Amino acid sequence: MNIMDMMVVDANAEALGISKTLLMENAGKCIAQKIFEISKPCKVNIYAGTGGNGGDGFVTARYLLNHGFEVEIFLIGHPSRISSPESLKNWEVLHKLNIETSSIVLNIIEDHSQLGFSSAELVLDAILGTGTKGKLREPVSKAIDIINSSNSTVIAVDIPTGLDPQTGMVEHKAVKADFTVTFHKEKIGLKNADEEYLGDLKVCDIGIPEEAELYTGPGDLLRLTQRNINSHKGQNGNLLVLGGSKDYSGAPALAAISALRSGVDISVIACPKCVTSTIRSYSPDLIVKSLSNNYVTFDDTAKILELSKNANSMVIGCGIGREEETGLALTEMIEKINMPIVIDADALKLLNLDLIKHYRNEVILTPHKAEFKAFFGVDVPKKLDNQIDTILECSKKCKCTVLLKGSTDIISNGDKIKLNSTGNPGMTVGGTGDVLAGIVGALVAQGHEAFEAAYLGSFINGNAGDLAAEEYGYNLIASDIWKYIPQVFKRRI
């Protein structure tokens, strides 16, 4: 698990009603229990930072006091710099203890000269943990020297200070722990860390439920790419939507406008000539390119390939129809292009599994149950557990990401699984799948890998639909949903 994954899981747990305060309490208690396993009551020095890692140390101090330990805390930085509300709350709790009768001493360290040799039998490193970034500064650097030069048993909270949480490497110096207590799951950096720094590793369950990781939640919005303030037109993604036919003009427009609402700079629709004027009339923000008259044909492949040269991703299938020649044209085109593609709607019935699994780039399929059966030749089971197994197996078989739309969306890349439960019964209305395809295509165009784009798109689409339902009830239409997409993006934590 990397640091972003942990941030996402923490936020999703909070959305489920499990507060960060509770998680910090559980973490501190877990550290204390490890200390009880290895030591009788003794003197403990806790070196604490101003982030969440320090808060874990503050909680640990309370449990140690209750079991007869003498505790001295060295806060590395002024209390005004404590960035975590939960940490600040636990620091204030320590100040409310009767210091004169309690076996605790609180020190505020703002300069390395205030630090001296530690004679404690046990030292707790709660300085930086996964918050380690860049070169270590004073007084953190001096604190590491003191910890390493002591004869104490050293326990690191979550990850030894100075150890890169992503790589496990040590750039300058790091705490050399005898024990490391990490939370929820082993961090990616710990897998590569030298035992000299890590010591014995314990992974502690702090009460984060499986659902916080398996299901998408507001924490996943942390993964959204950040727009460069110096970027110019085209640097934030260019999407090409190939769709539409004489019977369907709205579907490609829904996808393209949803993509614009999801942050791409340019959204181009390539569609049959008979619906070009209609699609242009939906929005002045759309760029619409005419193909053959009534449906996509062989004659269109050269133009589509030329348009694709400027795109970062494609959405194929929205309203494209089921003409045999269209299917043959799509097959020829896909053999020649090389970019991430989202395949939706009728295109799932026109293209075949063998073609897709040999495609040179990332593919995302977005079927509902009937389209899934048409493409894979497999019925979707009724039970969720069986559905998950089926989607996992089929996505592995086609070597692509599958987003099965339903009351609970199931997303898999053949290796990982994500579920999404946002959305509501009003979203059974036609066109919501086109909105989803546009969002997913936009996320891919902005640099998200296929699996991440699929489950983020699923969450954003469902969440926007829920916001639309608050205003319109279940009488919403697909174009109501795209209006709320920016609001979901603004909820990024």
Question: Per the annotation, where are the binding residues for K(+)?
Answer: 53, 125, 161
DSSP string, 93-107: HHHHS-TTTSSEEEE
Which distant-in-sequence residues (6+ apart) come within 8 Å of 281 by Cβ? none
Q: What is the CA radius of gyration of the chain?
A: 27
Pure H helices in 342-482: 347-350, 353-357, 369-376, 384-398, 432-445, 450-472, 478-482
Helix (H) or strand (E) holding 251: helix 250-261
Q: Is the previous residue joined to 41 through a cis bond, with omega within 30 degrees of 0?
A: no
Task: Write down the residue that tokens 């499986």 correspond to.
Answer: 210
- Which residues lie across from 337 on neighbouring strands? none
User: Which residues participate in the annotated binding site for AMP?
Assistant: 433
How far, in Å, CA of 273 to CA of 293, rounded?
5
Q: Are strands 341-343 and 363-365 parallel, antiparallel or unpaired?
A: parallel
User: Which residues participate in the annotated binding site for (6S)-NADPHX?
Assistant: 52-56, 129-135, 158, 251, 319, 368, 434
Give, as one character, the DSSP assignment of residue 265: S
User: Which residues participate in the annotated binding site?
Assistant: 52-56, 125, 129-135, 158, 161, 251, 319, 368, 433-434
Cβ contact 375:358 at 8 Å? no
Helix (H) or strand (E) holding 189: helix 188-192
Report the alpha-carbon angle 214-219-225, nearest 5. Answer: 110
Query: And the tokens for 116?
Result: 């001296």
